[in-house]
């Protein structure tokens, strides 16, 4: 599977494991443009496809801090 497109290349996939999330709210507090909270207070990505390098760096920062280790930023390839 090749997820790359000629324009607006998909650079990374952002996911939150709802089972691992401990509902700290940290992700949405750190980067509300990338994360929001569900009604249960768990984090979820605003968008699953990240195409902006700054967004990817921000998401990786959150992944490193997430107390549930629930956030993953992965290469789409």
- 15 in contact with ligand SF4 (CB under 6 A): no
Q: Which is nearer to ligand SF4, 9 or 67 (CB)?
A: 67
Taking Cα atoms as reference points, which of 40, 14, 15, 12 lies closest to residue 25? 40
The CB-of-18 to ligand SF4 minimum distance in angstroms stands at 8
Map residue 11 onto helix, strand or coil. Answer: coil
Task: Return the number of the residue (10 or 23) whose C-beta is nearest ligand SF4.
Answer: 23
3-state secondary structure of 2: coil
> How far apart are CB 23 and ligand SF4 at their closest, in Å?
5
The residue written with tokens 């009604």 in the block is 39
């Amino acid at each position: 599977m090749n997820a790359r497109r000629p324009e607006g290349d998909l650079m990374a996939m952002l996911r939150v494991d709802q089972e691992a999330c401990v509902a700290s709210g940290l992700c949405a507090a750190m980067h509300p443009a990338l994360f929001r909270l569900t009604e249960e207070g768990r984090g979820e990505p605003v968008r699953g496809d990240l195409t902006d390098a700054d967004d990817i760096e921000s998401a990786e920062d959150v992944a490193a801090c997430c107390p549930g280790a629930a956030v993953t930023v992965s290469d789409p390839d």
